[in-house]
Amino acid sequence: MARYGMLINTKKCIGCYACRVACQRQNDLLPTQDFIRYEEHETGTYPNVAIETVPLQCMHCEDAPCAAVCPTGAAYIGADGIVGVDEGRCIGCKYCMAACPYQVRVHNEKTGTVDKCRFCTVSAETSGTKMCSCVEACLTGARIFGDLDDPASDISKEIAATNAQPIAGDLTKSKVFYVR
């Protein structure tokens, strides 16, 4: 059984939002459903300034707070460790949104339910996309998706080479790793 994860290299991120819109288009989301959000930092003082954009999305945590608090089992940790949403079970109480430390769960104003990045399990099934849309879209190759348990996978090799870390340490055993 694979254990899927993602690596995001913020040193390659130009903050162009292509991943967000690609995700929305390929997954047929509403404009307000941003499965990827961004935190931007500028450091230094004029004129010696550096900038950093950190894209955040569902971290597919092994200790997923959303799944822990969801009263109906709509938020669950599924096959391959991918944190899923069973829309058919979601009552829209938004408890998962409050519990998620990364604030990457999004309320769908049409259905009243909550959704978030699915590592493109849905678009992969419905339209044959073989890769996460954000990975496919990233202009600079800042994203790698793959099996964390396979030492030969690109992502495992890159994590080893760059010492990529989850964004908030061991807070929730996140499976999205960052190079910063």
> Which distant-in-sequence residues (6+ apart) come within 8 Å of 45 by Cβ?
none
Range 112-171, binding other proteins (CB under 8 A): 112-114, 121-123, 125-127, 129, 136-140, 167-168, 171
Distance CA(13)–CA(56), nearest Å, equals: 12
Is the CB of 6 or the CB of 74 nearer to other proteins?
Answer: 74
Specify the DSSP element, H or E, that contains 21: helix 18-26
Pull the structure tokens for residue 59: 């971290």
Return the range that interacts with other proteins (CB under 8 A); candidates 83-91, 144-152, 155-163: 83-91
CA angle, 130 then 131 then 135, to 5°? 160
Pull the structure tokens for residue 48: 């010696």
Binding test (CB under 8 A) with other proteins, winner from 57, 58, 64, 95: 95
| Least distance (Å) between residue 180 CB and other proteins | 5
User: Can you count the helices (H) and strands (E) in the chain?
Assistant: 6, 10
Amino acid at 21: V
Binding test (CB under 8 A) with other proteins, winner from 1, 2, 8, 89: 89
DSSP 12: G
Binding test (CB under 8 A) with other proteins, winner from 6, 7, 8, 13: 13
Total residues at the site for other proteins (CB under 8 A)? 85
Binding test (CB under 8 A) with other proteins, winner from 64, 100, 117, 148: 100
Range 40-79, binding other proteins (CB under 8 A): 41-47, 49-54, 56, 65, 68-74, 78-79
| Least distance (Å) between residue 79 CB and other proteins | 6
